[in-house]
Structure 1
Amino acid sequence: MKGKRTRVLLTGIGGGGHGEQILKALRLGELEYEIVGTDISDACANRSLVDKFVKLPRASDPRYLDELRSLGRSEKCIAIFHGSEPEMTVLSRSKSILEADGFYIPVNPSSVLDVCQDKVRTMGYLSSHGFRTPQFAEVRDLADLEAWKLLPAILKPSVGGGGSANVFIVQSRDELLTFSRYLLGMCECFIAQEYIGSPDEEYTVGVLFGKDGALINSIAVKRVINNALTIRTQVPNRTNRLEFGPRLVISTGISQGHVADWSLVRIACEEMAASLSPTAPMNLQCRVVDGVVVPFEINPRFSGTTSLRAMAGYNEPDILIRRDVLGEKVPPHFSYKEMMILRGLREHSLS
């Protein structure tokens, strides 16, 4: 199908986020894409990788939606992909308006975002629907921690905190209170979460849904967490919990690893994601503990591994355009390649 030019608008192409990942995946697609890329800054490393670059205001700016719609119409784009979470929220809220303009908008409804963008609500939802989760507590005051006995534990903002920012491992009561005070000084509430499993059994899992809510496929990457790109925090294990190994690790939002069938992980994550009734890609972070898939976060969007998946023949943005816009029959649970994919850094020069 190469040679056919399909014009799409992709926001948030800078910053190493999922916008950059969608860009890379589209360049590997079965279709030939003409990409209009946007970002909030002209100092955007990926501007040379799109066919046209336009600077847009931040998603919080009152002008954002009108300028986005105007750009999409003037460039005759058939779809708009969001490349950042703030833009995802605007596109979800404004989906009916954008669809009336004639754009395909692969974004989940607010009912999905409302659950998944709040980590306490995510864990509460999964637990109430019968899925195993780490034990957790919402913390709005230090008094909320009086009954918390599980150590080690993870502390992180309940809302926001992308890229594992402001996430802490605590192993003692003193550390628990110290970092809790710090977080409460920054945000209204945070989640305390039981530390689970081993980083050697951590997976990032994509579950792909069409605009009609149908499950298309899933893919799991068993993460290789071994360097500065992939490790957010690591500390020696000072507890008597030998099952966690010699070090406690929190990964970053930059994933790499082994793409394979991992059917146990995929099937469990398909069930969790489908329970939310999504209509766009979902991404789940989990560890396997004693043979059970235990999720610790859900991102209701394209993943930071979108381009890695495309390299294996699982190209989510391309599949959605072909299926949901052009009407191509995409077989459910289509096959893709097994491979190990590792990441590094690449520099760009801008003239």
Structure 2
Amino acid sequence: MKYKILVTGCGGDIGQSIGKILKEFTACELLVGCDMSDQNPASFIYDHFQKVQAISSPEYLSEIKAIISKYSIDLIIPVSEPELRFYTQNKSLQLQLNCPVLMANLEAREIGFDKLATVNFLKKEGLPYPKTEIFEEVENPTYPFLIKSRFGSGSKALFIVKNEKQFNFYKEMCSGFIAQELLENDDEEYTCGLFRDKTGNTKYLIYRRTLMDGGHSGFGEVVENEDISKLLKEIAVKINLLGSINIQLRLTSKGPIVFEINPRFSSTVMFRHIMGYQDLIWSIEDYFELPISTYIAPKIGTKFYKGFFEYVK
């Protein structure tokens, strides 16, 4: 059986990586991509590319429906975080499209897309968590500490508050942010891929990372850590995980502490795929009840580096 797949928000780095992976996926018969911008190389990667309105536009739904009908799409994979948030907040959207949408389970998305809800989840389940509160409610701060957007992604809306002057400055401009404990050991930050299928079988990949500008992983090294492995397995069970998510944590003197759960495919989806951690393919196979490809874990110490590729038309 082969499938016709639509990837929305396909022009960004994750969408491009997903397109390259699916072009090599034998079960993908036709690969269609759409994005709100055509100033990207998606047309070089996808069999068909179409520019569409932003998901907040009233025309979005009709445009996606038209693509589904035109190409007889079997599965939609939304890539951009605004889209995934929109699907999470508008639960009837998938029914209106009358086409399956591949995402992590609703509980994982609702928790992961709200950083305060993430911490409350960890606390409720007895898992390690960083001290966190709504920034406007902070009265006697202990410096330094972090403030970051409660609902945003990446590291652009993230600041370290070191003194009272900065505290007062940010309090005037950062409404809706959260204040969070600044975890020790900034050189011990890890990104972990976590996948769980319908049968409860869990796979994960742990690597120490170095961030580029914009919060993307520019370099990483695969590691093995029993404490992190145990924590990942616990999170998968307690969040009722179905699908693929991304866990960010630091290894501290108190053990691993999660500070973010990203309920989507990671910007390192291609690196992981090359190293054998093929969570995109597993997710599709699991949805269509195909045999899930075997995971051959990469060797400890395997390194990856972020590069660039140019297209000329």
Using the size of structure 1 for normalisation, the TM-score is 0.80
**Which of 166, 169, 176 matches 2:167?**
176
Other-structure match for 1:132: 128
Aligned match of 1:97 in 95, 99, 122? 95
Q: CA deviation at 1:83?
A: 1.1
Q: In structure 2, which of residues 2, 7, 11 is the aligned counterpart of residue 10 of structure 1?
A: 7
Shift of 1:74: 2.2
In structure 2, the CA distance between the partners of 1:123 and 1:157, relative to structure 1 (3 Å rule), is: same
Per the TM alignment, residue 130 of structure 1 is displaced from its structure 2 partner at its CA by 0.8
Q: How many pairs does the alignment contain? A: 309
The 5 A counterparts of 1:184-203 are 184=175, 189-203=176-190
Q: Which residue is equivalent to 2:228?
A: 265
Q: CA RMSD in A?
A: 2.4
For residues 113 and 153 of structure 1, the distance between their equivalents in structure 2, rounded to whole angstroms, comes to: 26
Show the counterpart of 1:146: 139
Structure 2: tracts of 5 or more residues without a match:
none
Normalised to the residue count of structure 2, the TM-score between the two structures is 0.89
Q: Does 1:222 align with 2:208?
A: yes
Distance 1:73 1:90 in 2: 22
Q: Could you tell me which residue of structure 2 aligns to residue 335 of structure 1?
A: 296
Q: Structure 1's 118 and 326: CA in aligned 2 closer, same or farther, altered over 3 A?
A: closer
Supply the AA of the counterpart residue of 2:219. Q
Instruction: Give aligned-pair identity as a percent.
Output: 25
Structure 2 residue matching 1:132: 3-state secondary structure: coil
Q: How far 1:147 moved relative to its partner?
A: 2.4
Name the aligned partner's letter for residue 130 of structure 2.
Answer: P
Quote the Cα distance in structure 1 between the aligned partners of 2:58 and 2:79: 18
The answer to whether the aligner puts 1:163 opposite 2:160 as a matched pair is: no
Match of 1:64 in 2: 60
Q: Deviations over 1:208-231 (max 9, x none)?
A: 123x37343111221134xxxx25
Following superposition, the deviation at residue 32 of structure 1 comes to 5.1
Contact 2:195–2:245 under 8 Å retained in 1:
yes
Contact 1:137/1:191 (<8 A) preserved: yes
Alpha carbons 1:215, 1:274 under 8 Å: kept: no
- Give deviations 1:108-135, integer Å, cap 9, x for gaps: 3443322221111111221121111111
Q: 1:75 aligns with which of 71, 77, 86?
A: 71
Runs (5+) with no aligned partner, structure 1 = 233-251
Mark the CA change 1:77 to 1:38 in structure 2 (over 3 Å): closer, same or farther.
same
Change (3 A) 1:173 1:129: same
**In 1, are the aligned partners of 2:192 and 2:247 still within 8 Å (CA)?**
yes
Instruction: State the distance in 2 between where 1:105 and 1:138 align.
Output: 33
Cα distance in 1, alignment partners of residues 199 and 110 from structure 2: 17
Corresponding residue of 2:45: 49
- Alignment correspondent of 1:283: 246
Query: Offset of 1:35 from its aligned partner?
Result: 1.3
